[in-house]
Amino acid sequence: MSAVDNYLEVLKGLVLMKNAVNTMVPQLAKPIGYAVFLQTHHELSEVAILRLFNYLPSKFPPSSFTKDVLAMYCGYENYLDFCEKRGQDNILKDGDIDLPSPLI
């Protein structure tokens, strides 16, 4: 797995942590999308989230918009800022994000 893939996997993990979810399931795509919208005022479609988590096929990697919005949702300026601040440390650390109450 390349470093870029690692960063995306870490970001996906942060999104799940922020929603107090251990494992993504398709039914959570809509509530996660809504939570992202409430915080960032940017909309990610349910389909984009399902593709991101490999529940729907995609010919292309996630768009820069999707990665930027998810990074903003997790408290970063954008995806580049997320990658730079994560540096070589791809481990999810305690205190990385504020955890809300669970979606379900």
Class of residue 75 by CB neighbours under 10 A (exposed 0-12, middle 13-18, buried 19+)? middle
pLDDT at residue number 8: 96
**Residue 102 falls in which region: left (phi positive, over 0), alpha (psi -120 to 50) or beta:** beta
CA distance 100 to 98: 6
Q: So what's the pLDDT on residue 71?
A: 98
Phi, psi of 27 (to 5 degrees): -65, -15
pLDDT, tens digit, 9 for 90 and up, residues 37-95: 999 999 999 999 999 999 999 999 999 999 999 999 999 999 999 999 988 554 445 45
15-27 average pLDDT score: 96
Distance of CA 44 to the CA centre of its chain: 11
End-to-end CA distance of the chain: 31
Average pLDDT over residues 16-39: 97
Task: Please state which of the ranges 5-9, 28-32, 46-50, 92-96 shows the lowest mean pLDDT.
Answer: 92-96
